[in-house]
Amino acid sequence: MTALQRFIAYATAFEQTYDDDDWRRIEPFFAPDAVYEVQGSALGCRLEGRAAIVAGLKKSLDGFDRRFAKRALDVVDGPHEQGDTVAIGWTATYAVPGAPSLVLRGRSTATVRDGQITRLVDAYPDGMDEEVAGWLARHAPGASPSYV
């Protein structure tokens, strides 16, 4: 299985996990010593190890994604595969009744070795923090996308 095929399988499993909260489904996609990093954001963090990554992803979904009436993901660039690395640009759109949508923009880069993700990086562009903080303060003050 190529890095791209494995990443797509992970993304599909992640969305199923979003729907049913069965985190055991995504555990096998990560190497035991995998690293997950969030870059370019006040949410920046580095999670090391499969258990820490799964716990961090769950915390972020519970504190943020699941608090909205609507969530939609779109691929805006790629995916691009080079050797064992896959990169994809995306948007995530969140909505609450009576408010304009919040659109997050980012890029995910995954390194896959021996069928498992060894490194996953989600990077956000400059200025995204201010935009998100302002929107959250006005429309979803209790939501927190923190991973830690």
Q: How far is CA 83 from the centre of its chain?
A: 22
The pTM of this model reads 0.92
Q: How far is CA 43 from the centre of its chain?
A: 12
Query: Mind listing the domains of the chain with CATH numbers?
Result: 3-139 (3.10.450.50)
* Token pair belonging to 113: 């070795």
Task: Please write the tens of the pLDDT for every residue from 22-59.
Answer: 999 999 999 999 999 999 887 789 999 999 999 999 99
Task: Please write the tens of the pLDDT for every residue from 59-75.
Answer: 999 999 998 989 999 99
- Evaluate the CA torsion angle 79, 85, 89, 94 in order and state its sign: positive
Q: How many residues does the structure list for the chain? A: 148
